[in-house]
Structure 1
Amino acid sequence: MNWIKHKSRSLFFKIFLSFLAIIVLFGLFYMMIFQLFKTSLQKEIIDTSQRAVHDTAERFSNQFSRLQVLMFDIYNQSDLIGFHNQLRHQTGNEVNYLKAREVMLQMRSDIYNPLFFLEDTLIYLQEHDFVLSKSGSGDASYMFNRSYASPTYSYSFWSSYEDRLESFTLLPAETYRINNDLSEKKLMPFVYKQPDNRYEVIALIDIDKAAQSFFGDSNDRALAILDADGSVLYNWGSIRHEQLPLFQAGQEAVLQDGTYYFTETGSDGLTYVSAVPYSHVSSQLSRLTGGLLLIFFLSLGVAVAASYLFSRRLHKPVKQILTTVLNRAPFSSMPEPGSITEYDLIQNRIQELFREKEEIRDRMNKHKSVLTSYSYISQLKSINTDISEWEDFLSDDGSFIVVLYHIRFRMNPAYELPLQTDQAVRHMLEHIHLITAERYPGSHTFQIEKNEIISIFKREEAARLEELLADIRGMLNEERELFLVTIAVSSQVSHSSEFNQAYHQVKGLTAQAPLRDESQLVTKQRALPNTVNLSPSQEKGLLDALQSGSDSRSLQIIDQALETLQRKEAGIAQFRFFADSVASKILSYAEMAQIDKSSVQSLKQWSGRLAECHCLAEYSGVFRQLIEAACALIRKKKDTGEEPLIAMFMNIIHNQYADDLSLDYLSAKLNLSSAYLSVYIKEKTGLNFSDHLLGIRMNKAKELLACTDLTVNEISQRVGYLNITSFNRTFKKAVGMTPGAYRRQHVVQTHASG
């Protein structure tokens, strides 16, 4: 017990116990977070599956609504009605079969639209035993028994198909043999037939492709579509009708026989059931649990081992130092220096004390006088209190001036530098320091950044400062083939606390310096050009030149703009801003032209070299390389007739019509000015931006009014109008009637035709 009590008071025991307490605390916190995370993750997996079946139901409902509109339009085509009437009242050559051809041509454009997921659309004129399809027309018996053959939906089925109360009927999906057994597909017939009429439209939906698009392709999930009577219209995966559980009112998820079932009733009245094996959920949790527990125990073991080793490491040098001090061992027996700075300092100080003790002892043995002993004792107690010159300068209350030397090494100098750039800056620092210290001993010169040198002069030294800086400028200008230096001088600063303000002042002066092929001295601020961008006409000319792949015209425009900036004496920072802006426009157009990423990356490397330009000739040279490379790639890509800018514009407004789109937003996204983009769209398409956006929004609004039960307010928000009054006014102006009147008219027409 005494041993334990003694050890518990040691530094090692207390450090190690503290580490263990922290480890246990973090372990408990980790376990609590893990349990919460595991529970929330399981709920999130189930919610994700429920959202998946909800999204699937919504997509299928919208798809069936679109097909209803399509079938209604086909059914009421004037050519089809005229052709049917001719078959009924005329014979032989009197029948104009060109009308049937027009019907088939119209059907093909819809069938080949991938958004409809149609294998074919058949128009069955039952009275004449005649069928129109995408591939032609023919006898109904041949069409249903050979071209699209199914044991369930044979010729006998369709010839005896009776009128239903509903205009649209969705039949269960079956496997069809297509074109004399050349292929097989699972198709779902969707029939539109009005009562007391002798022809019908049969849309054969490629239901597997639609399910793969709407539900996703997954081996561990299944989907079933049930009609209002509970009969299975289609199943995807291993789900069977007899396996489906009974869902209570309001119940959306059921766990039965190791499988989660999720249900959703669509707006079309169909029920969509998704089956996800519980093993799919549990396997994700098991993998997560196993992985996290393994990481936890490994972390725990590493933490305990590291705590023990670190505690020993902290305790061991303390123990050695105490042993040395208590035993009064000579400095030669001190332990080797370790990796802890504070302990090394203590050891070094103890060594110095032992060394000085031995020296004093030796001297006292030789000189027994009290005076000598007192002198040595005074030496032992002496403390070094030297203060650097810089600290002296900062403690001085006098005002001072800051001079900044900003060094810019030339790109591709005429001959190689004799030293590396950092060595060259150090040599320059030494040279400037010698010159300034010789004339002004109270000045201070030091390097503050890798390409910046600072000199600080007191107020009384500033009288002849311009003469000194002019001499330094002349000396630096002799090496302008290698580097250019901008020397900036601050105003007088009254206190050392304002040094940061003075430094930012001279930094700003170097950015305002004009772009010249020589070192220069800047002592005050100057007026700069208000704008350094391309003018609208220059921007249009540049983009037209890039579009045509003309490198000479593109370079001429950029050279003219650079010369204008030079003539206006724009600052160095303004030249850099202009170069980056123009390079960004060139890269943006290259990306819009759909040039491959590796080629665009090579262009970015050229544009990156603009940061190394320090004179007009260098800017012009880099732009020449960038323009020639970009135009070569654009000319190579110019084998397609589609305008990349218009294609990108149409893609944005067709996909984001419900957002708060504006010409300013599009111009920023396409890196163009609003004025130029507006003129370009009008020139290439014949319509301006607002007309395009209005047309897309109104077409979508009419589709939602005709095919959904959404309120007018909901439809207005879906097509991008937050204010229903504005939507009503715009819709009436575009269509000629209010949204409500349009919906009522569509309903009346549908019932009248039915």
Structure 2
Amino acid sequence: MNWIKEKSRTLFFKIFISFLSIIVVFGLFYAAIFHLFKTGLQQEIIKTSQRDVTDTAERFSNQFRRLQVLMLDISSQSELIGFNNELRHQSGNNVNYLKALQVIRQMRSDIYNPLFYLEDTLIYFHAHDVVLSKSGSGSASYMFNRSYASPEYGYSFWQGLDQNETFQLFPASMFQINNQLSEKNLLPFVYRHPDRYYSIIALMDIEQAAGSFFGQSGDRMLAIMDKEGQLLYSQGLLADSMPASIRAGQPEVVLQDNTYYFAQPLPEGLVFVSAVPYSHVTSQLSRLTGALTVMFFLSIGIALTASYLLSRRLHKPVKHILSTVLDRKSAASSPIIGGIAEYDLIQDRIQELLREKEEIREQMSKQQSVLTSYSYISQLKSINTDISEWVDFLSEDGSFNVVLYDIRFRMNPAYELPLQSEQAVRHILEHIHLITAEHSPKSHTFQIEKNEIISIYKREEAGKLEAMLEEIRAMLDREREVFLVTMAVSAEVSRSADFNGAYRQVKTMAGQARLLDETQLIMGLRTLPEAVHLSSAQEKGLHEALQSGSDVRSRQIVEQALEGLYKKEAGIDQFRMFADAAASKILGLVDMSRIDKSSVRTLKDWSGRLQECQTLDDYAGVFRQLIEAACALIRKKKDTGDEPLIAMFMNILHTQYAEDISLDYLSARLNLSSAYLSVYIKEKTGMNFSDHLLNIRMNKAKELLACTNLTVSEISQRVGYLNITSFNRMFKKATGMTPGAYRRQHLALTHAGS
């Protein structure tokens, strides 16, 4: 037992157990998914069988309607009506049998149509005992006893046929055709007009129709019943074996005697029943279960083997390093174990660490609290306060709250400051320090960034915090014509070592401040709107307005989007992200217009001023100047004679860049050859087709990465790359970094600018 307890504390055991835990979690997850999948698959098989019988019923219903229309057409033929009248009023050789021949020829074209699945169509003149078929005419006794002979449908049956019914379906039966030359299972479908003296009998090849509509049955079964429950056709299914509810024509699924029964009634009164043995369902599940079980245990075996080998590989060098440290061997007596570079580096430096051990221990005993907090002290970039005050705070125990004052100087202040902004921040710091020192003697206030001030309040002073912050807010709000301040208050923090997390929290809260012309006090995080970019319609409208040089329409679209963000209560950081994306789109279109680089410099100056905007009016004013300057350049370019073909080309690229667009497609749209169009684009723009398309797609990708939370895979598809690997490769080639790195850099720059 002691051996087991001792082994359980080793690094190898803990690493191996960690791997095993991951394997068990994934195994349980796999088992749960498999159970749900198996259950869902069984239900899907049942639904598929039910859908098959429904589809079969609809196809048979359509088939019977086609036959009804066919028999109505035959019955209404003038030649048939005329031949019937001659039979009734003439006798012997006076009857014109040429009319019967015309009727037979028309019937043959319908019978040989594969859509009807007909073996033959018989026209039976009851009073004259004459029958017309595809092979000619003959007596009824010969036709029903020899040409189409069946035990159920002999000559006597057709003589006694009920002549009051219009359409009648009779049960299928085996017919001996042409004196037993062949045998087929045929289903009689009879039509008789009440005012006429003949019946039309359509002999449907039910086996062929069932094979086409229901498919190769295998172990599935099919039955068709009429509204009285009489079995018209059966494919391995007996009426007596069906459940009572199925025979009654109720549309449901019933499991009885290890067989699933599916019923589908039709408005005409027919009921279609399909039966699938339960073994058919279980056999499919068993095959799937077997294959997945083998894969599961194989995966478990591979994972266990890999876990064991990797655990030993990680554990062995650690044992060697520990042996060196505990035995204090020299570098010469402790050779480095290769294989893992980090372990090799540790082994290489271990002797130096041993020599400095005593010195480090002495320093740690004197400045334990400062060393403990070093991990986040190093992240505070320039704290303009007495360092001894900061060290005293770190050494104290107890919880505290962090308040961040984010100072943003106005773009166009009402009056000029007598001081530089850096000096103004220092004076603001002194005012805040005076108020906090009066109400909270144990508080600490210092400048942490260029335009950021931090105050820390101990827990015992939390009761005075809100009233004091309101006093500070009122003091700062009197200067809102010169600068705006966001005051963000963190949740209570229990340890000084958690300062870094509290600082990140208040930074996030400051970025969520609304775009208001006042000092704001924020006590907690809030939910921000998701969409902070131009909609598809707005983006398309801005593109068209800029292309046409319409500064009025362009300003309306951007100002409308800004108003929408303001009404949604978007945060300051979101406004900056939107402004960066919109400015990039405007500058990108100007670049596409091949405007002189020196003329574009003014646009970039206005674009840079967006970082200085602090209110909605500021953003509207800078965008107005930017758009008016951009549209003026575009209009000037158009006035000098821009190429209409190039304009059409660029318009297609900008509106259809997400599609599978090619030079052949463009040449077809512009009614030019691909070779000519390629040379023309290169000559007029200095770039070929693929470079234009790549630039547009990459600019759009950068906009989506900066302004949305879409995944890289979703952005890849939106800009026309179905293969994310290709997208990553092209993005890195165009920008020098991966999409993820670009997004992180943009977020870092946004926060740095705030």
- TM-score under structure 1 length normalisation: 0.48
- TM-score under structure 2 length normalisation: 0.48
